[in-house]
Amino acid sequence: MAVALALAGRAATAGDAVDPARLTDLVRQDCGSCHGLTLRGGLGKPLTADRLTQWDRDQLAHIILDGVPGTPMPPWRPLLSESEARWIADALKAGGLR
């Protein structure tokens, strides 16, 4: 939680407004449809920090925004801004949102 708040602070100073409570809920409930409520995976891959070490923040934000063609991972660009995607990527890599 402290990590999430710290990250939220950083994202907020970066520009566009980010609503941490809304994004946390979105990741748990809606990403959780495929990745599991605790993000340990399901039809989609696990999103726990130890499984994301090979990707940096911008790569993860890119996957979130544009999806993975040929798989069920959809592009979230119609629903999320770039700063929101970066906030989610940071929080996942920090082991938050679970």
Q: Contact residues for other proteins (CB under 8 A)?
A: 28-30, 32-34, 36-38, 40-43, 67, 70, 72, 74-76, 78-79
Closest approach of Cβ 80 to other proteins, in Å? 11
Distance CA 83, CA 24 (A): 14
**Residue found by looking up tokens 């609503």 in the block:** 19
Closest approach of Cβ 26 to other proteins, in Å? 9
Secondary structure string (H, E, C) spanning 7-28:
HHHHHHHHCCCCCHHHHHHHHH
Q: In this complex, which beta carbon is closest to other proteins, that of residue 3 or of residue 79?
A: 79
Closest approach of Cβ 40 to other proteins, in Å? 7
Q: In this complex, which beta carbon is closest to other proteins, that of residue 12 or of residue 34?
A: 34
Q: In this complex, which beta carbon is closest to other proteins, that of residue 15 or of residue 42?
A: 42
